[in-house]
Amino acid sequence: MTAVEHILGEDWTVVPAGGSTGTAYYAKSDQRRLFLKRNSSPFLAVLSAQGIVPKLVWTKRLENGDVLTAQQWLDGKALNPEEMQHPRVAKLLSKIHHSSELLDMLLRIEKQTQMPTQILAKMKEKVKTTDDADCSLVIHKALKYLEDRLPYVYYSKPVVCHCDLVHHNWMLSKNGELYLVDWDNAKVGDPAMDIGRILQSYIPKQEWDQWLSHYGEENNAHFMQRMHWYLMIDAIHGYTWNVRRDKMKVAHQHMSELQQLLDQVNDWNL
């Protein structure tokens, strides 16, 4: 019997929930079903209280010191890419970004805000120590753009950013509740980090203004500069991360996105 099964008792069946970390499980008994995770962020309690993730049922400490959390099992499905265009996605993200409770809690845990100067310095170091990246003309062009735009991308109102807004992290329950799950990468920083990923990946460009109005943000040159700045950082990170793991096909997808972003900032004079 595993430590997780021991805590639940013999009436429960526990199976791995998949994912790269191997720390999540589905558990069910005759009466109940739960989603379990080892060492979730303490942030989870505030997210649950605000209805952003499925309800937190309990938290228990295992003998080895790991913390196990149990959430209500979500009967529902992940959003598909087209469903990301729904106004409810923009409105839930806006609610998250405007929550002072979430910000206070994450600042207590993280104790720092993601600042452009530090982000760029770390990225330059990653590029330097990744062979293919250091030789890439596209990456050098992007780093030059990021350096030149540093004075213009500061934002004075940092928020809680999810930082992994792929469509399968948005869950719709059978009762119609929308949740955003998998908060392991959350950071305090510019909301453009999150908004840019959704716009670039899921929203047709002719609908960006409308999506932003549902969110409550005006589409202007300053916002677009910040958004593209963080998208380029994201693309370089994706490239270096995958090159280091010899996943060249995925790395080249990130390189293509980086070239597309450079073209966009050139075309739009950002």
Known catalytic residues? Answer: 164
- For 248, the token pair is 């060249």
Q: Which residues have C-beta within 8 Å of that of residue 90, sequence separation ≥ 6? A: 198, 211, 212, 214, 215
C-alpha to C-alpha distances, 189 to 52, 111, 152, 160, 176, nearest whole angstrom:
19, 12, 15, 7, 30
Closest CA to 180 of 67, 70, 59, 88: 88
SS3 194: helix
- Burial of residue 206 (CB within 10 Å: 0-12, 13-18, 19+) is exposed
